[in-house]
Amino acid sequence: MISERMQQKLNEQIQKEFFSAYLYLSMETYFTSQNLSGFANFFRVQAQEERDHAMMFFNYVTHVGGKVKLGQIDEPKSDFESIEEVIRMSLEHEQFVTKSIYSIVDLALEEKDHKTNAFLQWFVTEQAEEESTAESNLNKVKLIGNDGRGILMLDAEMAQRVYSPPPAAQMK
């Protein structure tokens, strides 16, 4: 069994992960409207990953005898000014999620909740990858600027991304 405080933090994380999926679907919609199907694909895959992350937290809370309480999901931003704004927002959002996961790790350590700490280590590693990818994407977009050829090359690169579900053991 987990503490009430831990249960609350994990439930808040479920909400944040579902919001992340909404945000990335909103970004996908922006890129679709710009006829940039590769960027749209990248964010569709990102949304799928975030839904999986939410379900991993959901399943974990249930597994350890906690109670899942689903909170309201806010409407994400949907009007974007530029490719760079979207990519910058994705990096900032990943940094926000990382901080949130770190705060849960801190609580697990404070409470000597070794089960939850072990569960969270996958997310710590995942967030390092997420931030690195988002930062790399932002650096590429900054380098390209408004060069249409560069944007189309990056669009083609992002079209190559495929969805890879987390390991089955993590989804239990």
Instruction: Map out the domains of the chain as residue ranges.
Output: 4-70+80-171
Task: Retrieve residue 85's tokens.
Answer: 């704004």
Tokens of 113: 């909740």
Per-residue pLDDT at 9 exceeds 80: yes
SS3 assignment, position 162: coil
Q: Check whether 62 has a pLDDT greater than 80.
A: yes
What is the pTM (predicted TM-score) of this model? 0.93
- Report how far residue 102's alpha carbon sits from residue 25's, in angstroms, rounded to the nearest whole number: 25
pLDDT at 171: 55
Average pLDDT over residues 146-160: 95
Which ranges of 64-172 does DSSP label H, i.e. alpha helix?
A: 83-110, 114-144, 148-159, 168-171
| CATH class assigned to 4-70+80-171 | mainly alpha
Q: How confident is the model at residue 167 (pLDDT cuts 50, 70, 90)?
A: confident
Mean pLDDT score, 148-157: 96
How far from each other are the two terminal CA atoms of the chain, in whole angstroms?
A: 16
Q: Residue 101's pLDDT is what?
A: 98
Position 53 pLDDT exceeds 70: yes
